[in-house]
Amino acid sequence: FQVAGLHTQKHEVASLNRIVADVPNGEAFFSMRRPGVTRLGLAEAARWLVHTHAYDSSGIKSGMAGDDRVKGGKVYPQGVGWVGGLGGVFAEGSDLRETLLLNLVPTDEDILTAEPKADLPVWRRDPPPGPGVLAGDPSVPRPAGPRDLYTWQSRRVLLHTEGPEVTGVVLGYGDPLTPANRQKMEAMTGWRRSPAQEKKLGRSLIYLPRQHDPARAAWRGLASLLEAQKQDGDTTGRGTDRTLPPGVVRWLTLLTSEGVLPKRSLIRTRLVGAVYGTQQSVVDEVMDDSIALPVVLLDQDRGLHRAVAVGAVSDAEQAVSALGRLAGNLARAVGSDTGPATSTARDLGFGALDGPYRGWLAGLAEYSDPDRARAKWHGIA
């Protein structure tokens, strides 16, 4: 979404480097965009517009004329775009239609909630966004639901064109949004409990998006992906979950229980995310991984299969930890630093188990006896 007439006090127009994320800062080893971007076709520019609202970095930005937050021509850091703060998770179907349906989580199944009359996409709001924070009815909290959240305007943008090409951009901050306790509106991320934020804000229960670690393969986080994880030492009680699974995975579980998803099939779960550096002002890394889940793991009546899959990850962690300790001990024996040797051995260990685990997991539904599947994994590993 763009803002007509958006401009700074000096009517400056910035380079497209501001919105194209794969333009390197400084001298990079590899880049398809070196040294920068001068022009974009309209279709590609539209994609980067969506990306900007989702993943734009933080930092000091130009102040827009009419924005009350401007100080000395600048607006100080307001945080990254909404999606940039998530550990994105979505189900990938065989085509676009199936992908959309798998991820279209309704608001009437106790997974997502919404204020029906107020949950509107941005293009149905009146008045439309201006240069400052969008004013609304103070009695209706925002976002009002998934429609509102999924079209959230975290930035104010206007693309400048010359004929059929985009040549520059005006980019400023839009509507701020805090991530705490949005699990009933945002289905495409896992959540983690934050004792630090609970103490800081004086609240009893705060969940934040559970972001991905690019150094950790998707299958190693299988337990948190599939179900809530209790606090250490706690086995009962509500409100004590250490992590919450993504709402979209709960939706897939419901589809499985309703017989919509064949229980002997696979469903590909994609994990995407960004890692920011230097006070979130630059993109350091991006993550894109996937894991083919047997639908049997989503079946509430097949808990043993799920336990075996998660247990196999634990087996791998223990084996690789032992390998790392061995490498560290050998390094110590010859007078070397144990840290690099341990880290290298762990990386090699998880790398060696990556393909075998994925292959074993994909065939898990073929085992009527989960214990036989666990024994098979021990033999493979």
Q: Are residues 165 and 307 in the same domain?
A: no
What average pLDDT does the segment 324-341 reach?
96
User: Is residue 42, in this structure, part of any structural domain at all?
Assistant: yes
Could you report the per-residue pLDDT of 82-107, keeping only the tens digit for each? Answer: 999 999 999 999 999 999 999 999 98
Q: Which of 166-180, 226-240, 337-351 has the lowest mean pLDDT?
A: 226-240
Six-digit token string for 281: 């002002």
Q: What is the pLDDT of residue 236?
A: 46
What band does 229 get if pLDDT is binned at 50, 70 and 90? confident
What CATH number corresponds to the domain at position 353? 1.10.132.100
Domain boundary among 173, 199, 222: 173
Domain that holds residue 357: 302-381
Share of the chain above pLDDT 90, in %: 75
Length of the chain: 381
User: Is residue 281, in this structure, part of any structural domain at all?
Assistant: no
Share of the chain above pLDDT 70, in %: 94
Q: What is the pLDDT of residue 125?
A: 85
Choose between 55 and 237: higher pLDDT.
55
Domain boundary among 128, 145, 173: 173
User: Is residue 324, in this structure, part of any structural domain at all?
Assistant: yes
User: Is residue 330, in this structure, part of any structural domain at all?
Assistant: yes
Q: Are residues 168 and 21 in the same domain?
A: yes
User: Is residue 56, in this structure, part of any structural domain at all?
Assistant: yes
CB 178 within 8 A of CB 195: no
Q: Which of 44-58, 122-136, 234-248 has the lowest mean pLDDT?
A: 234-248
What band does 264 get if pLDDT is binned at 50, 70 and 90? confident
Domain boundary among 173, 205, 220: 173
CB 364 within 8 A of CB 298: no
What band does 44 get if pLDDT is binned at 50, 70 and 90? very high
Tell me the pTM.
0.88
Listed as own residue / partner, the contacts of 116-122 with beta carbons closer than 8 Å and 24 or more positions apart are 116/145, 118/142, 118/144, 118/145, 118/148, 119/143, 119/144, 119/145, 119/146, 119/147, 119/148, 120/144, 120/147, 120/148, 121/147, 121/148, 121/150, 121/151, 122/1, 122/148, 122/151, 122/152, 122/153
Find where tokens 């589809």 sit: 255
Q: Is the pLDDT of residue 232 over 80?
A: no
Q: What is the pLDDT of residue 300?
A: 84
- Rg from Cα positions in the chain: 24
What band does 302 get if pLDDT is binned at 50, 70 and 90? confident
User: Is residue 285, in this structure, part of any structural domain at all?
Assistant: no
For residue 35, whether the previous peptide bond is cis, meaning omega lies within 30 degrees of 0, is: yes
User: Is residue 77, in this structure, part of any structural domain at all?
Assistant: yes
User: Is residue 354, in this structure, part of any structural domain at all?
Assistant: yes
**Average per-residue pLDDT in the chain?**
90
Q: Is the pLDDT of residue 378 over 60?
A: yes
Could you report the per-residue pLDDT of 13-33, keeping only the tens digit for each? Answer: 999 989 998 776 655 545 555
CB neighbours of 347 closer than 8 A, spacing ≥ 6? none
Domain count, the chain: 2
Six-digit token string for 52: 């900007």
Q: Is the pLDDT of residue 136 over 90?
A: no
Q: Is the pLDDT of residue 275 over 50?
A: yes
